[in-house]
Amino acid sequence: MKITSILLLVLLLLSSDKLLSQDRIIQSMDSLFNLFTAKNCFNGDVLVAVNSKTFYQKSFGYRDHELKDLMQHNLIFNLGSVSKPFTSVAILQLHQRGLLDINDHVLKYLPEFPYDNISIKHLLSHTSGLKQNFGQIETLEADAIISNDSIIPILSVHKPPLFSKPGTEWIYSNIGYELLALVVERVSKMKFSDYMEKYIFEPAEMQRTFIPSSQKITTFLPEGVREKDLLVPHEYKTIADCEVSPVDTLNFVQQRNAFLVGSENVYSCVEDLSKFDLALRKNTILSKELQQLAYTPFILEQGDTAKDLYAPIPSYFGLGWFIAIDTTRPRIIWHKGRSRGSRSVFLRVPEKKQVVTITDNFDYAAVDLKGISLLRTLNGESYRNPVLISLVQKLGCETTSGDVKTALDNFEYRKNTERQHYYISEEEMIGLSQLLISTHKINEAKAILSYSKSLFQNSSPVYSEYARIMLLENLNDSAAVYYREAEALSGEGEHFLNGVGYYFFSSDNYTFAEFVLKLNTELYPNSGNVFDSYALVLDKNGKLPEAIRAQEKAVKIAAESNDTLLETFKSNLQILQQKEK
């Protein structure tokens, strides 16, 4: 009897210590997110679950900032790229059912696809060599409604060169996952959204998750979900604005007339994501074996591992998921996402049955760091400072509301004395310069790019953008110098300036396109592909005889080097010669 009493006492004491420990962790999480809101760098919904039970859940800020409509738990967000793991599961389900083989070429399922050496697995692992987005291609179709069905016709017409040989390099690609959604439809003979509902959302009991089929989001709400269950995203209208504004996503006014699925546009909430994690851990929607394949780093042809060292947690990439590289801890399987006006992060630790989900409707950066800080707090570990604000946005605001010299001085001061509170994005710096150029503030853009060259000394995009400023100022010799520097820094060979040239071409700026593509022929005089591109823009500029000579050069080089594009170059030459008759 005495022994039993002692055991009970020990168990009670252990249970009490555990509760105290949980309370301390929850207090730490509260303190962390109270700090985020005090610093005005978070507005959203948070869920931490352990062993399928909610450990921590809170909502912060406003559903609609202007109306002061408070954020509620389980409001529905566009998950952005957190949609990709769902697409991966769908493809792997079809593989599991024997309806496709992920090792097959895409051509087997999409016969009109214009590349013959890309496999389903290449698309899943972001190793297809396809660029990230439509980029310049979509601007060529500016008046068209772009959907997944538009992708292959556009690729077939414009045939953009692959960035690298499939299977040899990891290049994050939205187009790849949009093609995978097409594969799901062709193989299953179902609409992508219907397939996802039947085979993933319903079995996982995700009752507040859906995929719209067009920009009119409210017409696709599941039963029991109301319009006010959708959050109102917010963003700075431009990188130079000083205040965030609501994004009209209920009518979904976008910068382009496009709606794509597979890479984005799964609408869900934090609790449903926790259910998705549970369905995976229980092997309800996908076998354990195929999950392990998805969570295994993809091996490139040369034996290296597909990885993203620039992620907030340096990570490998498998089939639809990032896998944290740090092997001293249990595996973190994760993905992050962004749509206009909102961000999300989904972190899973299957071995410990832990899941962290955060959705943020102010489009703040570093939501992924906030998720990691929660996970580290849960496990009693240290973490990087997650309270980060865009220093470039401050630069943009101060440039447009004051003068660029003062703004750059303030930028330099904050960078040197308050760096821990800010992040500095090369992409945002270039975006700010492009915005200033578009509003005819060339001198301001030039000053910012000049500063950026010292800040990002090995940045090919920065030097390329500075070269564009030189072209705008009719300083062609200087532009050539900076484009050569950008090309050397890029490591992309002939593809870099070809891409720049096609960007100008697609923007109807044929003069700049001709300049850049001519420069590329000087850098790569033995490339048939370069002369083929140059011929295209010469023809567009009304220089048919010169275009024919350039195309003849492309054919000659291709014939001498046994280039697989020889027949394409010959066909293009025949088209030009027909025009001359």
The 10 Å CB-count burial string (b at 16+, else e) for 190-213 is eebbebbbebbbeebebbbbbbbb
Q: Give the per-residue pLDDT at 389.
A: 82
Q: Give the per-residue pLDDT at 271.
A: 96
pLDDT in tens, 389-438: 889 999 999 999 899 999 999 999 999 998 888 888 898 999 999 999 99
Residue 456 clears pLDDT 60, i.e. is over it: yes
- With CA atoms as reference, report the closest residue to 498 among 103, 197, 162: 162
φ/ψ of 504, rounded to 5, equals -65, -40
How many CA atoms are closer than 13 Å to the CA of 491, on its beta-carbon side? Answer: 4
d(CA 56, CA 435): 41
More confident residue, 255 or 62: 62
Residue 566 clears pLDDT 60, i.e. is over it: yes
Least confident of 133-137, 228-232, 537-541, 553-557: 133-137
Residue 14 clears pLDDT 60, i.e. is over it: no
Q: Give the per-residue pLDDT at 252.
A: 41
Tally Cβ neighbours within 10 Å of residue 371: 26
Which contacts qualify for 492-499: CB closer than 8 Å, 24 or more apart? 492/163, 492/460, 493/524, 494/520, 494/523, 494/524, 494/527, 494/529, 494/530, 495/161, 495/163, 496/460, 496/464, 497/523, 498/161, 498/529, 498/530, 498/533, 499/136
**Residue 78: helix, strand or coil by DSSP?**
strand
d(CA 530, CA 553): 10
Instruction: Say what the alpha-carbon torsion angle 214, 220, 225, 226 is, to the nearest 10 degrees.
Output: 70
β-pairing, 44-50 with 354-360? antiparallel
pLDDT in tens, 184-196: 999 999 999 999 9
d(CA 150, CA 132): 16
Q: Give the per-residue pLDDT at 136.
A: 41
pTM exceeds cut of 0.95? no
Q: Give the per-residue pLDDT at 251.
A: 44
- Whose tokens are 């594969």? That residue is 183
pLDDT in tens, 67-95: 888 888 999 989 999 999 999 999 999 99
Q: Give the per-residue pLDDT at 255.
A: 43
> How would residue 359 be classed by pLDDT, with cut points 50, 70 and 90?
very high
**Which part of the chain has CATH 3.40.710.10?**
80-378
| Statement: 430-580 belongs to CATH 3.40.50.720 | no
pLDDT in tens, 91-143: 999 999 999 999 999 999 999 999 999 999 999 999 999 976 654 444 444 45
Looking at residue 384, its amino acid is R
Across 321-343, average pLDDT: 91
Q: Give the per-residue pLDDT at 132.
A: 64
Please tell me the class of the 80-378 domain: alpha beta
φ/ψ of 215, rounded to 5, equals -70, -15
**Which part of the chain has CATH 1.25.40.10?**
430-580
**Residue 77: helix, strand or coil by DSSP?**
strand
Q: Give the per-residue pLDDT at 156.
A: 86
Residue 295 clears pLDDT 70, i.e. is over it: yes
Q: Give the per-residue pLDDT at 9.
A: 53
Q: Phi-psi region for residue 80, left (φ > 0), alpha (ψ -120 to 50) or beta?
A: left
Tally: H helices and E strands in the chain: 21, 16
- Whose tokens are 């006014």? That residue is 253
> How would residue 225 be classed by pLDDT, with cut points 50, 70 and 90?
confident
φ/ψ of 170, rounded to 5, equals -90, 115
pLDDT in tens, 27-37: 999 998 988 88
Least confident of 255-269, 277-291, 424-438: 255-269
Residue 323 clears pLDDT 70, i.e. is over it: yes
